[in-house]
Chain A
Amino acid sequence: EVQLLESGGGLVQPGGSLRLSCAASGFTFSTYAMSWVRQAPGKGLEWIAVTSGRGESSHYADSVKGRFTISRDNSKSTLYLQMNSLRVEDTAVYYCGRYTPCDYWGQGTLVTVSS
Chain B
Amino acid sequence: EIVMTQSPATLSLSPGERATLSCWASQSVSTNLAWYQQKPGQAPRLLIFGASTRATGIPARFSGSGSGTQFTLTISGLQSEDFAVYYCQQYNTWPPLAFGGGTKVEIK
Contact = CB atoms under 8 A, between A and B. Distances in A.
B94 A59 contact: yes
Given A102-B44, A105-B43, A44 B99 contact: yes
A47 B43 contact: no
A45 B102 contact: yes
Interface string B69-108: 0000000000000000101010100111111111000000
Given A44-B101, A101-B89, A107 B43 contact: yes
A50 B97 CA distance: 9
Interface in A29-62: 35, 37, 44-47, 50, 59-62
A70 to B, nearest CB: 12
Interface string A72-115: 00000000000000000000000100001111011110000000
Interface residues of A, number: 20
B87 A44 contact: yes
B11 interface: no
> Which of B43, B44, B87, B96 has the most CB atoms of chain A within a 10 A radius of its CB?
B43
A60 B38 CA distance: 23
Given A45-B36, A101-B46, A103-B46, 11 more contacts: A45-B89, A47-B89, A47-B95, A61-B96, A100-B91, A100-B97, A101-B36, A101-B89, A102-B36, A105-B43, A105-B45
